Amino acid sequence: MKRLLVLAAAATALFANAQTYPGSKPISIVVPFAAGGPTDRVARDLAEAMRKALPGSNFVVENVNGAGGTIGATKVAKASPDGHTLLLFHIGMASTPALYRKLQYKPLEDFEYLGLVNEVPMTLIGKPQLPANTYRDFENYIRANSGKLNIAHAGLGSASHLCGLMWQSAINAKEAMTTIPFGGTGPAMNALVGGQVDLMCDQTTNTTGQIEAGRVKAFAVTTAKPLSKHKLLKDYPSLQEMGLKGFDLTIWHGLYAPKGTPPAILTQLNTALKAALKDADFIKKQDGLGAVVVTDNRVEPAAHKAFVAGQIAKLKPVIEAAGKFAD
């Protein structure tokens, strides 16, 4: 009887909260990687656009990094379903189930799906001192220095880890490099620019500015075709053009709330997300970084969830063929 009373009180509180949402309490968008990286960048630009779309709201970004993004995702899965804790996560939502046998959450059961946000190509980049200027030189240098080089990433299951794994497998250089994990590719980029690590595969949202400034060297993009419409990135070949048959990797970001968030709040958040993705300033910022904002039908929760389920199924054999496992 006591448990029923507690549940009834909780349900009443959630219902009342839905009537006054968002209220004065901030809405935290948890970024499961360190500040200064591509996920953080998307979250901060999205928070600004969603603030405009949901009157009276105060969206803030909270960085909770570690374990390829699964620590931050766990925090949101276990958060109160009151609409004040959201998760912005990328392809890691679909890659980590194949890499972590002890995930503290079930991706398809422990979250409410609010919609996809964008798609982002990746770039293969090297430290400025690397003695290579074309992808061919770069791959030959990797082969000539087997066992002597290191590749940075943002933890097992992160986009940079997944890309590095797939690329090393495609060129059959899985044992050729040491992998160096960071809390995100923000800090990893600082190490690369400083020459402390040799190479990395990272999202254009984080690499475009560094490439343009000459602080890193770029060698290829991971999309099936070159980014011919981008003023800077059009100059780099796709890995497929460089002979890596079928190599096609694009990162995507989605927005999530804890399971059990009241439907009235989910509707408000999805409506605000759709408006934010139509915000001219947000789209312009994303375009400039090589990212593509998704359109309405992909922002529908059901379509978002079906997409992630498909990605989980697609990535499992890819990861098993390419990589190592971690508990």
Q: Which residues bind ligand MLT (CB under 6 A)?
A: 33-34, 37-40, 92, 153-154, 158-160, 184-186, 202-203
The minimum distance between CB 180 and ligand MLT, in angstroms, equals: 13
Give the CB-nearest residue to ligand MLT: 37
Contact 203, 120 (CB under 8 A): yes
The minimum distance between CB 189 and ligand MLT, in angstroms, equals: 9
- Residue whose CB is less far from ligand MLT, 57 or 123: 123
The minimum distance between CB 160 and ligand MLT, in angstroms, equals: 3
Lookup: tokens for 15: 């219902």
Of residues 181, 163, 191, 169, the one with CA closest to residue 69: 181
- Residue whose CB is less far from ligand MLT, 158 or 208: 158
The minimum distance between CB 110 and ligand MLT, in angstroms, equals: 20
- Residue whose CB is less far from ligand MLT, 21 or 111: 111
C-alpha atoms less than 13 angstroms from C-alpha of 118 in its C-beta half-sphere: 27
Lookup: tokens for 295: 């359109």
Contact 185, 42 (CB under 8 A): no
- Residue whose CB is less far from ligand MLT, 43 or 54: 43
CA of 174: how far to CAs of 54, 184, 258, in Å? 47, 22, 37
The minimum distance between CB 184 and ligand MLT, in angstroms, equals: 3
Residue whose structure tokens are 């360190």: 34
- Residue whose CB is less far from ligand MLT, 160 or 168: 160
The minimum distance between CB 42 and ligand MLT, in angstroms, equals: 8
- Residue whose CB is less far from ligand MLT, 36 or 128: 36
Strands in 148-277 per DSSP E: 149-153, 177-181, 199-203, 217-221, 250-258
Contact 244, 171 (CB under 8 A): yes
CA of 246: how far to CAs of 67, 167, 238, in Å? 29, 11, 11
